[in-house]
Amino acid sequence: MENIVVFYNRGSNEQYLIEWEKELKKTYKNIKLVSIDHKKAVDAKVALLWKPPIEKIKKLKKISSIISLGQGVDHIINYPDFPQHIDVYRIVDSYMAKSMSHWVILSILNYIRDFEGYRNQQKEKIYKAREIIDFQSLSIGIYGIGEIGTVVAEDLCRLGFKVNGWSRTKKINKFFKSYDGVHGFLYLNKNSDIHISLLPLTSSTEGIFNKIFFSNVKNDSCFINAGRGDQVIEEDLLWACRKNKIKIAILDVYKHEPLPIDHPFWENSKIIVWPHVSAETNHKTAAKQVANAIKLIHQNQIPKNKINLKLGY
Protein backbone atom coordinates (compact mmCIF):
# COMPACT_ATOMS: atom_id res chain seq x y z
CA MET A 1 0.00 0.00 0.00
CA GLU A 2 1.33 3.44 -0.99
CA ASN A 3 1.57 6.19 1.59
CA ILE A 4 0.41 9.48 0.07
CA VAL A 5 2.63 12.48 0.80
CA VAL A 6 1.72 16.01 -0.28
CA PHE A 7 4.55 17.80 -2.07
CA TYR A 8 4.76 21.54 -2.69
CA ASN A 9 7.80 23.62 -3.61
CA ARG A 10 6.99 27.17 -4.63
CA GLY A 11 8.38 28.00 -8.04
CA SER A 12 9.18 24.43 -9.08
CA ASN A 13 7.53 22.30 -11.77
CA GLU A 14 6.18 18.75 -11.93
CA GLN A 15 9.62 17.40 -12.82
CA TYR A 16 10.97 18.44 -9.41
CA LEU A 17 8.26 16.36 -7.70
CA ILE A 18 9.20 13.39 -9.89
CA GLU A 19 12.90 13.76 -9.02
CA TRP A 20 12.15 13.89 -5.29
CA GLU A 21 9.89 10.84 -5.47
CA LYS A 22 12.57 8.90 -7.35
CA GLU A 23 15.17 9.65 -4.66
CA LEU A 24 12.77 8.99 -1.77
CA LYS A 25 11.79 5.59 -3.15
CA LYS A 26 15.41 4.45 -2.93
CA THR A 27 14.95 4.43 0.85
CA TYR A 28 11.17 4.01 1.28
CA LYS A 29 9.40 2.37 -1.64
CA ASN A 30 5.88 2.93 -0.30
CA ILE A 31 5.94 6.70 -0.87
CA LYS A 32 3.70 8.36 -3.43
CA LEU A 33 4.11 12.13 -3.84
CA VAL A 34 1.13 14.16 -5.01
CA SER A 35 0.62 17.86 -5.57
CA ILE A 36 -1.27 19.95 -3.05
CA ASP A 37 -4.30 20.09 -5.38
CA HIS A 38 -4.32 16.40 -6.28
CA LYS A 39 -7.52 14.51 -5.41
CA LYS A 40 -5.52 12.07 -3.25
CA ALA A 41 -3.98 14.88 -1.18
CA VAL A 42 -6.89 14.55 1.29
CA ASP A 43 -5.51 11.13 2.30
CA ALA A 44 -2.04 12.42 3.17
CA LYS A 45 -0.71 12.32 6.72
CA VAL A 46 2.59 14.00 5.82
CA ALA A 47 3.42 17.05 3.69
CA LEU A 48 6.82 17.92 2.25
CA LEU A 49 6.78 21.68 1.70
CA TRP A 50 8.64 24.86 0.81
CA LYS A 51 6.79 28.18 1.12
CA PRO A 52 3.35 26.56 0.88
CA PRO A 53 -0.10 28.12 0.77
CA ILE A 54 -1.01 27.33 4.39
CA GLU A 55 -4.72 27.82 3.79
CA LYS A 56 -4.68 24.84 1.44
CA ILE A 57 -2.73 22.75 3.95
CA LYS A 58 -5.28 23.55 6.66
CA LYS A 59 -7.99 22.04 4.46
CA LEU A 60 -6.16 18.72 4.39
CA LYS A 61 -7.49 17.48 7.72
CA LYS A 62 -5.36 14.33 7.94
CA ILE A 63 -2.05 16.19 7.80
CA SER A 64 -0.31 15.66 11.15
CA SER A 65 3.29 16.33 10.16
CA ILE A 66 5.10 18.74 7.86
CA ILE A 67 8.70 18.33 6.73
CA SER A 68 10.32 21.50 5.47
CA LEU A 69 12.17 21.22 2.17
CA GLY A 70 15.04 23.07 3.78
CA GLN A 71 16.73 23.81 7.08
CA GLY A 72 14.54 26.83 7.77
CA VAL A 73 10.91 26.54 8.88
CA ASP A 74 9.81 30.18 9.19
CA HIS A 75 8.13 29.94 5.78
CA ILE A 76 5.77 27.39 7.35
CA ILE A 77 5.26 28.22 11.02
CA ASN A 78 5.30 32.02 11.00
CA TYR A 79 1.68 32.29 9.90
CA PRO A 80 -0.47 33.78 12.69
CA ASP A 81 -2.97 30.95 12.45
CA PHE A 82 -0.61 28.05 11.80
CA PRO A 83 -2.25 24.86 13.19
CA GLN A 84 -0.45 24.11 16.44
CA HIS A 85 -1.38 20.43 16.37
CA ILE A 86 0.83 19.80 13.33
CA ASP A 87 4.38 18.62 14.03
CA VAL A 88 7.07 20.32 11.93
CA TYR A 89 10.46 18.89 11.02
CA ARG A 90 13.43 20.33 9.17
CA ILE A 91 16.20 18.94 7.02
CA VAL A 92 19.67 18.84 8.56
CA ASP A 93 22.01 17.99 5.69
CA SER A 94 25.82 18.08 5.83
CA TYR A 95 25.89 18.91 2.11
CA MET A 96 23.84 22.04 2.72
CA ALA A 97 26.02 23.02 5.68
CA LYS A 98 29.17 22.69 3.60
CA SER A 99 27.56 24.60 0.73
CA MET A 100 26.83 27.46 3.12
CA SER A 101 30.38 27.29 4.42
CA HIS A 102 31.76 27.49 0.88
CA TRP A 103 29.59 30.52 0.11
CA VAL A 104 30.64 32.35 3.29
CA ILE A 105 34.31 31.58 2.69
CA LEU A 106 33.98 32.73 -0.92
CA SER A 107 32.39 35.98 0.23
CA ILE A 108 35.08 36.65 2.83
CA LEU A 109 38.02 35.81 0.56
CA ASN A 110 36.61 37.93 -2.27
CA TYR A 111 36.33 40.78 0.21
CA ILE A 112 39.75 40.60 1.85
CA ARG A 113 41.63 39.89 -1.42
CA ASP A 114 39.68 42.55 -3.35
CA PHE A 115 38.44 40.27 -6.12
CA GLU A 116 36.26 42.99 -7.66
CA GLY A 117 39.20 45.38 -7.73
CA TYR A 118 41.27 42.95 -9.76
CA ARG A 119 38.39 42.25 -12.12
CA ASN A 120 38.02 45.98 -12.75
CA GLN A 121 41.78 46.32 -13.29
CA GLN A 122 41.64 43.53 -15.87
CA LYS A 123 39.07 45.49 -17.86
CA GLU A 124 41.52 48.41 -17.96
CA LYS A 125 44.54 46.09 -18.55
CA ILE A 126 46.19 47.23 -15.33
CA TYR A 127 48.78 44.79 -13.97
CA LYS A 128 49.24 46.01 -10.40
CA ALA A 129 49.03 44.56 -6.91
CA ARG A 130 46.20 45.81 -4.77
CA GLU A 131 46.04 46.23 -1.03
CA ILE A 132 44.74 43.20 0.88
CA ILE A 133 43.30 42.91 4.36
CA ASP A 134 45.45 40.84 6.72
CA PHE A 135 43.23 37.91 7.70
CA GLN A 136 45.03 37.59 11.02
CA SER A 137 43.92 41.08 12.01
CA LEU A 138 40.24 40.30 11.54
CA SER A 139 37.69 39.19 14.09
CA ILE A 140 34.72 37.36 12.59
CA GLY A 141 31.42 37.22 14.46
CA ILE A 142 28.90 34.55 13.48
CA TYR A 143 25.36 35.06 14.74
CA GLY A 144 23.69 31.66 14.88
CA ILE A 145 25.94 28.67 15.63
CA GLY A 146 23.51 25.84 15.13
CA GLU A 147 23.94 22.95 12.70
CA ILE A 148 25.06 25.20 9.84
CA GLY A 149 26.75 27.99 11.78
CA THR A 150 29.00 25.58 13.64
CA VAL A 151 30.26 24.06 10.39
CA VAL A 152 30.93 27.52 8.94
CA ALA A 153 32.73 28.68 12.09
CA GLU A 154 34.92 25.58 12.31
CA ASP A 155 35.87 25.78 8.63
CA LEU A 156 36.87 29.43 9.01
CA CYS A 157 38.96 28.55 12.07
CA ARG A 158 40.77 25.88 10.06
CA LEU A 159 41.64 28.56 7.50
CA GLY A 160 43.31 30.60 10.22
CA PHE A 161 40.58 33.15 10.95
CA LYS A 162 39.72 34.32 14.45
CA VAL A 163 36.05 33.44 14.95
CA ASN A 164 33.54 34.12 17.70
CA GLY A 165 30.05 32.69 17.72
CA TRP A 166 26.79 33.86 19.25
CA SER A 167 23.66 31.91 20.08
CA ARG A 168 20.58 32.28 22.27
CA THR A 169 21.95 29.81 24.81
CA LYS A 170 25.52 28.95 25.78
CA LYS A 171 27.40 26.51 23.54
CA ILE A 172 30.90 25.12 23.87
CA ASN A 173 33.19 24.48 20.92
CA LYS A 174 36.91 23.67 20.89
CA PHE A 175 37.57 25.70 17.73
CA PHE A 176 35.99 29.05 18.57
CA LYS A 177 34.77 31.07 21.53
CA SER A 178 31.03 31.12 22.07
CA TYR A 179 28.94 33.98 23.45
CA ASP A 180 25.27 34.07 24.35
CA GLY A 181 22.54 36.37 25.58
CA VAL A 182 22.25 40.14 25.28
CA HIS A 183 25.75 40.88 26.55
CA GLY A 184 27.30 38.33 24.23
CA PHE A 185 25.45 39.76 21.25
CA LEU A 186 26.66 43.25 22.11
CA TYR A 187 30.24 41.99 22.42
CA LEU A 188 30.22 40.59 18.88
CA ASN A 189 28.35 43.66 17.66
CA LYS A 190 31.10 46.02 18.88
CA ASN A 191 34.21 43.88 18.39
CA SER A 192 33.80 42.07 15.07
CA ASP A 193 35.21 43.24 11.74
CA ILE A 194 33.05 40.85 9.74
CA HIS A 195 29.48 40.11 10.86
CA ILE A 196 27.79 36.96 9.53
CA SER A 197 24.13 36.17 10.17
CA LEU A 198 23.07 32.52 9.96
CA LEU A 199 20.19 32.93 12.39
CA PRO A 200 16.74 31.38 12.05
CA LEU A 201 13.86 33.83 11.74
CA THR A 202 11.94 34.04 15.01
CA SER A 203 10.06 36.75 16.88
CA SER A 204 13.30 37.61 18.70
CA THR A 205 15.51 37.77 15.59
CA GLU A 206 13.15 39.73 13.36
CA GLY A 207 14.69 43.18 12.80
CA ILE A 208 17.71 42.34 14.99
CA PHE A 209 20.09 44.04 12.55
CA ASN A 210 18.84 47.59 12.87
CA LYS A 211 20.20 51.11 13.33
CA ILE A 212 21.27 50.35 16.90
CA PHE A 213 23.26 47.35 15.69
CA PHE A 214 24.83 49.19 12.77
CA SER A 215 25.64 52.19 14.99
CA ASN A 216 27.69 49.90 17.23
CA VAL A 217 29.79 48.21 14.54
CA LYS A 218 33.30 49.36 13.76
CA ASN A 219 33.66 51.76 10.85
CA ASP A 220 34.15 50.00 7.49
CA SER A 221 32.81 46.67 8.70
CA CYS A 222 31.68 43.82 6.46
CA PHE A 223 28.14 42.47 6.87
CA ILE A 224 27.09 39.11 5.43
CA ASN A 225 23.52 37.83 5.65
CA ALA A 226 22.50 34.30 4.70
CA GLY A 227 19.95 33.96 7.51
CA ARG A 228 16.66 35.63 6.63
CA GLY A 229 15.87 38.98 5.05
CA ASP A 230 13.38 39.97 7.76
CA GLN A 231 16.23 40.06 10.27
CA VAL A 232 17.60 43.21 8.60
CA ILE A 233 15.94 46.61 8.64
CA GLU A 234 16.87 47.46 5.08
CA GLU A 235 16.62 51.24 5.49
CA ASP A 236 19.04 51.00 8.43
CA LEU A 237 21.53 48.97 6.39
CA LEU A 238 21.42 51.62 3.66
CA TRP A 239 22.01 54.25 6.34
CA ALA A 240 25.02 52.29 7.62
CA CYS A 241 26.46 52.17 4.11
CA ARG A 242 26.09 55.94 3.73
CA LYS A 243 27.73 56.56 7.11
CA ASN A 244 30.66 54.23 6.28
CA LYS A 245 29.78 51.93 9.15
CA ILE A 246 29.44 49.20 6.54
CA LYS A 247 32.13 49.00 3.85
CA ILE A 248 30.55 46.06 2.08
CA ALA A 249 27.33 44.10 2.58
CA ILE A 250 27.03 40.68 0.96
CA LEU A 251 23.40 39.55 0.97
CA ASP A 252 21.69 36.34 -0.06
CA VAL A 253 18.28 36.94 1.54
CA TYR A 254 15.84 39.85 1.53
CA LYS A 255 12.59 41.01 3.04
CA HIS A 256 10.87 40.57 -0.32
CA GLU A 257 12.02 37.84 -2.68
CA PRO A 258 12.69 37.99 -5.55
CA LEU A 259 14.32 41.37 -4.84
CA PRO A 260 12.14 43.99 -6.60
CA ILE A 261 13.78 45.53 -9.66
CA ASP A 262 13.35 49.03 -8.22
CA HIS A 263 14.99 48.15 -4.89
CA PRO A 264 17.88 50.47 -3.91
CA PHE A 265 20.15 47.50 -3.15
CA TRP A 266 20.66 46.90 -6.87
CA GLU A 267 22.36 50.24 -7.48
CA ASN A 268 24.32 50.50 -4.23
CA SER A 269 28.05 50.00 -4.85
CA LYS A 270 28.54 48.75 -1.27
CA ILE A 271 26.00 45.95 -1.56
CA ILE A 272 26.48 42.65 -3.38
CA VAL A 273 23.21 40.89 -4.28
CA TRP A 274 22.92 37.11 -4.42
CA PRO A 275 19.55 35.44 -5.28
CA HIS A 276 19.10 33.16 -2.22
CA VAL A 277 21.42 30.43 -3.47
CA SER A 278 24.01 30.14 -0.68
CA ALA A 279 22.84 26.69 0.48
CA GLU A 280 20.09 25.22 -1.67
CA THR A 281 18.47 21.90 -0.81
CA ASN A 282 19.97 18.96 -2.69
CA HIS A 283 17.35 16.25 -3.03
CA LYS A 284 20.00 13.63 -3.75
CA THR A 285 21.72 14.17 -0.40
CA ALA A 286 18.64 15.04 1.68
CA ALA A 287 16.20 12.39 0.42
CA LYS A 288 17.39 9.53 2.65
CA GLN A 289 16.72 11.38 5.92
CA VAL A 290 13.41 12.72 4.59
CA ALA A 291 12.29 9.24 3.53
CA ASN A 292 13.27 7.80 6.91
CA ALA A 293 11.35 10.58 8.66
CA ILE A 294 8.23 9.89 6.58
CA LYS A 295 8.52 6.18 7.33
CA LEU A 296 8.79 6.80 11.08
CA ILE A 297 5.80 9.16 11.05
CA HIS A 298 3.70 6.51 9.32
CA GLN A 299 4.81 4.08 12.01
CA ASN A 300 3.60 6.57 14.66
CA GLN A 301 7.15 7.34 15.78
CA ILE A 302 8.92 10.69 16.12
CA PRO A 303 11.87 11.31 13.75
CA LYS A 304 14.82 13.62 14.44
CA ASN A 305 14.89 17.39 13.90
CA LYS A 306 11.45 18.21 15.25
CA ILE A 307 10.81 21.94 15.63
CA ASN A 308 9.86 23.60 18.91
CA LEU A 309 7.00 25.78 17.68
CA LYS A 310 7.38 28.18 20.63
CA LEU A 311 11.07 28.80 19.89
CA GLY A 312 10.66 28.76 16.13
CA TYR A 313 13.50 26.31 15.46
197 and 101 inside one domain: yes
The whole domain housing 11 covers 3-93+281-298
Partner residues linked to 194 by β-bridges? 140, 222
Q: Return averaged pLDDT per consecutive 10 residues of the chain, 313 residues in all.
A: 93 94 96 96 97 94 96 90 94 96 98 97 98 96 97 98 96 96 98 98 96 98 98 98 98 97 98 97 96 96 94 88
Q: Answer whether residue 18 is part of any domain.
A: yes
For residues 187 and 198, state if they share a domain: yes
Q: What confidence score (pLDDT) does residue 81 get?
A: 84
Secondary element (H or E) of residue 39: none
Q: Are residues 248 and 135 in the same domain?
A: yes
- 287 and 236, same structural domain? no
pLDDT at 166: 98
Query: Is 305 within the bounds of a domain?
Result: no
116 and 204 belong to one structural domain:
yes
Query: Cα separations (Å) of 175 from 144, 165, 166?
Result: 15, 10, 14
Q: 66 and 107 share a domain?
A: no
Tell me if 312 is assigned to some domain. no
Contact 241, 220 (CB under 8 A): no
128 and 40 co-located in one domain = no
pLDDT of residue 71: 87
The number of domains in the chain is 2
Q: Is residue 307 part of a domain?
A: no
Could you give the strand order of the β-sheet that contains 46-50, starting from the edge strand earlier in sequence? 31-35, 3-9, 46-50, 65-68, 87-89
Query: Residue 69 sits in a domain of what CATH number?
Result: 3.40.50.720
Asked whether residue 98 falls in the same domain as residue 83, the answer is: no
Instruction: Say if residue 126 is in the same domain as residue 57.
Output: no
Residue 309 inside a domain? The answer is no
Closest CA to 247 of 269, 264, 280: 269
- Determine contact, residues 209/185, Cβ cutoff 8 Å: no
Q: Is residue 126 located within the same domain as residue 264?
A: yes
Residue 267 lies in a domain: yes
- 50 and 149 share a domain? no
- Would you say residue 175 lies in a domain? yes
